[in-house]
Structure 1
Amino acid sequence: MSELYHPVLGKKKIIKALIISLLIASVLLVGAVLPAEYGLDPTGIGKKLGFTRLHVSADSTTVVRASYPRIKMAEAGSDSTVAKPVEANNPPPSQQYEIREDSVQVTVPAGKGIEYKIYMLKHGQVKYEWTTDKDVLYVDFHGEVNQAQAVKDVYYESYTLAYADNMVGTLLSPFEGKHGWYFRNNGKSDVVVTIRLKGQYVI
């Protein structure tokens, strides 16, 4: 019966293997572990390999909340002193606008707000999508009742209030009138909003 041969590594080979292992561990530590776990990327390798995107700081949630104040229910729609117009109770028409599709861009200047609206009949439908080229905006998606006579205080209903850089949804118009978005830019540079629409409306 033959004996099993167990090779014995020399001292130099063991030291060499140990050094190689330490080098590999160091590369992984600097290039992957530090960027992903601690957000530290001294060599820039972590960013190139995408590891820095895995890092979430412990106070990231707090920073977001501090940047964008909570929106309260009382901020939605007209003040309680503005009565809902009787025109809001008008029946829907027998025929809606023809379905159309549009894509528009609006620029929201730094430190200012603008509105973009479409006109819809009662129970008309529209699907929408909007996104910014950068930064988050305050947005009030709302509708104004079409009234027979002009009034000083216009009644409106808010459908969505939020801080966002992108939004997608559908609307079934609750009354005839203008429906759209008020965008507020609290940043220091202009923001371009691209709005896509498909539905029963006119511009």
Structure 2
Amino acid sequence: MYNTDLPTRAELPTTAQLLRSTAIAAVSAVAILVTIVLPAEYAIDPTGIGRMLKLTEMGEIKIQLAAEAEADRIKDSQTPPAQPAPAAPAADKRSSLLDTVLSGLFVSPAQAGERFVVAQAESRKDELNVTLKPNEGVEYKMTMVKGAKATFAWEVQGGVVNYDMHGTPWTRIETSYKKGRSVAKDSGVLEAGFDGTHGWFWRNRSSQNVTITLKVEGAYKDLKKM
């Protein structure tokens, strides 16, 4: 029986050859990252390879959904300006200023509104149905502390939607967890990466009404429309 001959020392690659091969591989990886992967995140494809690998399409979805969500938030936040209140007497102004300073010193995190999540929420369960007209979008989010988990499942009746599952900390720098285009359903576990609000933005790009059924269970508070 013949066994393959072992290579001699002279046939083995030298240290210099190994270092050169490693350097070439590292430079190639950086080049691919800079010219293909990172531009594709912003729907830029200077080489054409990103579109072949479906990376550019993912970037286009990301930009489109982010723009739609931001436009909806701006629209919802636009309210008529409030009429200015009559000027208070000087003594009342001093009293009001003192009350404001004292309340700022002694207010508890729970009284500070949406800027804080003071404790881990107890487990709860919710189910909701929302109907979207053509080109209509909607956002539902939960208040969660970092590390909290919620099991979810949503399904579309009558069509498909574009979606973005994301979270927003109190600093308002949004982070996307998952997104897709022309999707009929999705399920899994949403784990909060930080204290803040976490949930879904859906957009109906079809020409007919669709209804989304969302079921969610876990450690969160205040599942509501944003």
Higher helix share: 2
Task: Let me know the Cα RMSD of the aligned residues.
Answer: 2.5
Query: The residue matched to 2:155 in structure 1 has which SS?
Result: strand
Distance 1:188 1:196 in 2: 25
Q: CA deviation at 1:75?
A: 2.5
Segments ≥4 residues shifted beyond 3 Å: 76-79
1:110–1:74 CA distance, 2 compared to 1 (3 A): closer
Which residue of structure 1 aligns with residue 128 of structure 2?
A: 104
Which residue of structure 2 aligns with residue 134 of structure 1?
A: 158
Unaligned runs of 5+ in 1: 1-68, 80-91, 148-153
Distance 1:143 1:170 in 2: 13
The one-letter amino acid of 2:59's match is K
2:139 to 110, 115, 127: 115
Structure ranking higher on relative contact order (CA contacts 8 Å, 6+ apart):
1
Unaligned runs of 5+ in 2: 1-55, 68-116
Distance 1:145 1:101 in 2: 23
Map 1:110-189 → 2, pairs under 5 A: 110-147=134-171, 154-163=172-181, 164-189=183-208
Q: What is the percent sequence identity of the aligned residues? A: 28
Higher gyration radius (CA): 1
Distance 2:164 2:66 in 1: 12
The one-letter amino acid of 1:167's match is D
1:155–1:74 CA distance, 2 compared to 1 (3 A): farther
Distance 1:192 1:178 in 2: 23
Distance 1:183 1:78 in 2: 11
The one-letter amino acid of 2:174's match is Y
8 Å Cα contact 1:78/1:155 also seen in 2: no
Q: CA deviation at 1:74?
A: 8.5
Distance 1:111 1:177 in 2: 28
The one-letter amino acid of 2:210's match is V
Name the TM-score, length of structure 2 as normaliser. Answer: 0.47
Matched, 1:72 2:68: no
Map 1:183-202 → 2, pairs under 5 A: 183-202=202-221
The one-letter amino acid of 2:62's match is E
The one-letter amino acid of 1:72's match is G
Name the TM-score, length of structure 1 as normaliser. Answer: 0.52
